[in-house]
Amino acid sequence: MATAAPVVALRYADGALWAIDQTLLPWREIELELRCADDVVGAIRRLSIRGAPLIGVAAAYGVALELARDPDALEPACTALAAARPTAVNLAHAVSRVSAAVLAAGAAGGSGAAEVALAEARALHAEEEAASEAIARHGGQIWLQMDGGVSTETIERCADAGADVFVAGSAVYAAEDRDRAVRELRALAEKATSASDWACAH
């Protein structure tokens, strides 16, 4: 009996970016088929793709996907992708890196633009995977605490940034129903960290 291939959080195949919809984790593992920059933007905005490194890799592939559709779309694609999560450093870096590679190769607007962008996206993807493996080997016991500004509006973004421990003060003590506030924060923290842990493990 053949062994099923392992499911990965993000992969490029058959001219598309395939990404696990993290809003459904850990109960369901469903892959999204993304074929243009707008598809990637939408997935990032609705948190189907989350976690700083993964967002950056997805955005890099998003540039390549759009250039495969329209070789002249470098600037609008990069602008749209960078705006999908304006505060995400990895995303901005990835978009800038792919754009610079296309421009440096003199491929902007030409038939080779998508090929150059895809090669750069794949290189970035490989680097991020290597970094994740190194962290898993050497930093498995490191915990990152987020203290200050933790609320129901920010806790998922804190998890995206890599926080493992959340310290909520005013979000609880200023609430009319403190028990409810704690339950809501705990539920969001469990959902956010389980999705982030799953992404790192795959």
Q: Looking up tokens 């403190």, which residue turns up?
A: 178
Q: Residue written as tokens 């016991």? A: 141
- Residue 121 maps to which CATH number? 1.20.120.420
Distance from C-alpha of 74 to C-alpha of 117, rounded to nearest angstrom? 10
Per-residue pLDDT band at 51 (split at 50, 70, 90): confident
Total domains in the chain come to 2
Instruction: Say yes or no: 112 and 173 in one domain.
Output: no
**3 vs 56, residue with greater confidence:** 56
5 located within any domain: no
Does 87 lie in the same domain as 45?
yes
Residues 18, 106, single domain; the answer is yes
Span 10-21, pLDDT tens digits = 999 999 999 999
Please state whether the predicted TM-score (pTM) of the whole model is above 0.75.
Answer: no
Shared-domain flag, residues 84 and 26: yes
Instruction: Out of 111, 138, 165, pick the residue that ends a domain.
Output: 138
* Average per-residue pLDDT for the chain: 83
Whether residue 154 sits in one domain with residue 128: no
pLDDT at 71: 94
Is 54 a domain residue?
Answer: yes
- Local confidence band at 201 (pLDDT 50, 70, 90 cut-offs): very low
Residue span of the structural domain in which 179 resides: 145-201
Nearest CA-CA partner of 47 in 84, 1, 100, 90 = 84
Query: How sure is the predictor about 68, in pLDDT bands with cuts at 50, 70 and 90?
Result: very high
pLDDT digits (tens, 9 = 90+) for 158-198: 777 677 777 777 777 677 888 888 888 888 877 776 654 44
What's the confidence (pLDDT) of residue 187?
A: 84
**Residue 111 and residue 41 share a domain:** yes
Under DSSP, is residue 163 helix (H, G, I), strand (E, B) or coil?
A: coil
**Is 52 inside any structural domain?**
yes
In-domain check, residue 4: no
